[in-house]
Structure 1
Amino acid sequence: MLKDSAPRIWRMRNNLYRIRYSKCKACGASFYPARASCIRCSSRDVEVRVSLGLGTLVEYTVLYQVPARMQDNAPMVIGVVRLDEGFELYGVIVDADIKDLR
């Protein structure tokens, strides 16, 4: 397995630090992760776009008991975000105070 090096991370930065999704030109559906065909109408007329990363927190939960290797991150917030482009994704919510989440 290759170790991550600074040059390798720099070359992969567009894939690592951007949310790339697909938008169907036939039916207008947006979906993540990016795919070669539409998940709604099966059209292959899709384009890959980069999300602005803006959206609404739909649901979240707070994990107070986390694996030992993640104790430094406790409590951890896991949430579902509906992005303005029309699709949802889930992950760890960072840089937010738990009491400010709604």
Structure 2
Amino acid sequence: MTPDGIYTAVVDRFEDDLAVLLLEDDGDAVDQAVLDTERLPEDARYVDAVVSVELEDEEVIDITSEERETVERSERAQRRFDELSQRPPSPEDESETS
């Protein structure tokens, strides 16, 4: 049972007309909420959108789009991807520059 309160959530996926949100506490996924996609703010109806969710008695009673957080997370993920996609120089590359 997830305690009442306000959580950061990420739109994880869509199943038919339902949106599955992963609820976070200090950056860790702690639970999920499933609700009609129509309840999401229009600008948060896509995978990886970040929203603020208020729960009461395990029901979502309010949802707010967190556009800035969505952009920041996307940029961090892109930077990590870019760093990981850079291959280290091979011995052949190093000998060519000498």
Which TM-score applies when normalising by structure 2? 0.31
Select the structure of larger CA radius of gyration: 2
| Bigger fraction of residues in helix | 2
| Bigger fraction of residues in strand | 2
- Relative contact order, CA 8 A, sep 6+: which one is greater? 2
